[in-house]
Chains A and B, each alone.
Chain A
Amino acid sequence: MILFDATLCALIIAVALATVAGRDSFRAIVFFIVYGLFVSVAWVRLDAVNVALAEAAIGAGLTAVLFLAGIGRLRRAHVQADQSVPLHLPAALACTGLTAALGWAWFALPLPDRPAPQLAQAMPQAGVENAVTAVLLNFRAWDTLLETVVLLAALIGVWMLTRDGNWSAPVGVPQNVRPGGILSGFGRVLPPLGFLVGVYLVYAGTSRPGGAFQGGTVLAAVGLVAAMAGTVRPPRIMATGWRVALIIGSLAFLLAGVAGELLGSGFLTLPVAIAGNAILAIEIALTVSIAVTLAFLVLGPPESDGSGGSAS
């Protein structure tokens, strides 16, 4: 397998090079998608299937859609999307030094004690069998709660970029889809399948690789495909139901945290007796919020039809 790993690493670096170098931004993003897929294979090789799922769905999936949409919006504004990469010698030297320093750090790091005994001892109290889910939703719940708040803050930041006249328009760029074309066909076939995969990932996340983030991302992608294919119309910022969906994850998390405090085990510490069910409930609420927030983040601020380019 060492040959496989070496080849994989060489491919990752080659594709990353193609992403940075080259004039064409569209091509760079296509290489970025391939890069994300190779890196998720690397995560499988590192025995981190949960991370591999997240990288494939977010790194290779949503991030690439975000960048492609970014190119589209630059072109709508008649801004040059391509640029050749100049040779910058001081930067090249500094970055080679950075890589060398990280490489040195890798070989200089002392070996840790394995396996980490505290986690293995605590796992029976977690309420779930997937150790990564246990860490995310129980042992380090603070991190995940604050992460949901970061997602909301980023979305508020994106929405603040809305022009005054577009505030009541549907989120994202208006889509024009040819009826009977490939995209509108995809828009009918992919969402039901994707929905099934997303829900399964959330449900499986308690005992097998998967979880709220991976499942939520797949569901966000389902929403994006449906919106881009014109199957569903993106909602407006002001829609109350969607706003509730945005915060329900953080809310459920906070309620569970307060419940832990009232039941005597401390804020954001789930009592052992209810941990399993509580985690499943939090995960479902969290999935809804993550899916809606990520989809809105990628769709971007509302834009109406006629307001493409502006003064330059």
Chain B
Amino acid sequence: MSALDFFALTGAALVGLGSYGLIAIRHLLRQIIAFNLIGSGLFLFFGAVAARGGDSDPVPQALIITGIVVALSASALAVGLAVVQAEASGHAELPDGDDASDGPDDAQDAT
């Protein structure tokens, strides 16, 4: 195994780990953190691909920098929305799909 293999497989593991967090955790803030792990894992995988065959390729690096900045702005919007949802409903979780079809619960009649 070369060093690049390690970084690529770490990226793959991070994507899996982040996805698990996104699915298993219901708390919105923790879901956003898990989502950031997925993004960061994909960047690492992409960066390892960019470094294959000798010199590091600057084009993917520029795309990754763009991606990191966009991930921050999306996270900021997501945190803002999560806080508003929590203030409106008293829970930092989204209502279950089943609950929603049963009738309006506290998360839905608050706007």
**A-side interface residues toward B, CB under 8 Å?**
1-2, 5-6, 9, 12-13, 16-17, 19-20, 25, 28-29, 32, 35-36, 39, 42-43, 45-48, 50-51, 54-55, 58-59, 62-63, 66-67, 69-71, 73-74, 77-83, 85-88, 91-92, 94-96, 98-100, 102-103, 106, 109, 111-116, 119, 131-132, 134-136, 139-140, 143-144, 147, 150-151, 154-155, 157-158, 161, 211, 213, 290, 293-294, 297-298, 300-301, 309-312
CB contacts (< 8 Å) of B7 on chain A: these are: 5, 9, 42, 45-46
Contacts A/B (CB < 8 Å), 25 sampled: A1-B3, A19-B21, A35-B37, A45-B3, A46-B51, A48-B51, A63-B36, A70-B79, A77-B83, A79-B86, A83-B25, A98-B16, A99-B16, A103-B8, A106-B8, A112-B52, A114-B52, A114-B53, A114-B54, A155-B76, A158-B80, A290-B69, A294-B69, A300-B80, A312-B89
Interface residues of B in 60-111 (CB under 8 A from A): 61-66, 68-77, 79-84, 86-92, 106, 110
CB of A73 within 8 A of CB of B83, answer yes
Do A58 and B68 have beta carbons less than 8 Å apart? yes
Instruction: Write the nearest CB–CB distance from A234 to chain B, whole angstroms.
Output: 15
Docked-complex contact A51 and B110, CB < 8 angstroms: no
B residues bordering A, Cβ < 8 Å? 2-21, 23-27, 29-30, 32-34, 36-37, 40, 43-45, 47-59, 61-66, 68-77, 79-84, 86-92, 106, 110
Interface on chain A toward B: helix, strand, loop, or mixed SS? helix
Contact at A63–B75, with CB atoms within 8 Å?
yes
Contact A48 B50 (CB under 8 A): yes
**In whole angstroms, how far apart are the Cα atoms of A66 and B72 in the complex?**
9
User: Within the assembled complex, what's the spacing in Å between the Cα atoms of A35 and B25?
Assistant: 19
Q: Which residues of A contact B62 (CB under 8 A)?
A: 50, 132, 135-136, 140, 143
> Chain A contacts of B20 at CB under 8 A?
20, 88, 91-92, 95
Bound Cα distance A235, B26 (Å) = 35
Q: Which residue of B lies closest to A2 (CB)?
A: B3
Q: Kindly report which residue of chain A lies nearest to residue B60, judged by CB atoms.
A: A48
Residues of B within 8 A of A100 (CB): 12
- A residues in contact with B30, CB < 8 Å: 20, 25, 28, 83, 85
A112 touches which of B19, B24, B53, B66 (Cβ 8 Å):
B53
Q: Which residues of A contact B76 (CB under 8 A)?
A: 66, 154-155, 158, 297-298, 300
Q: Decide: A20 near B25, CB < 8 A? Known: A99-B12, A115-B54.
A: yes
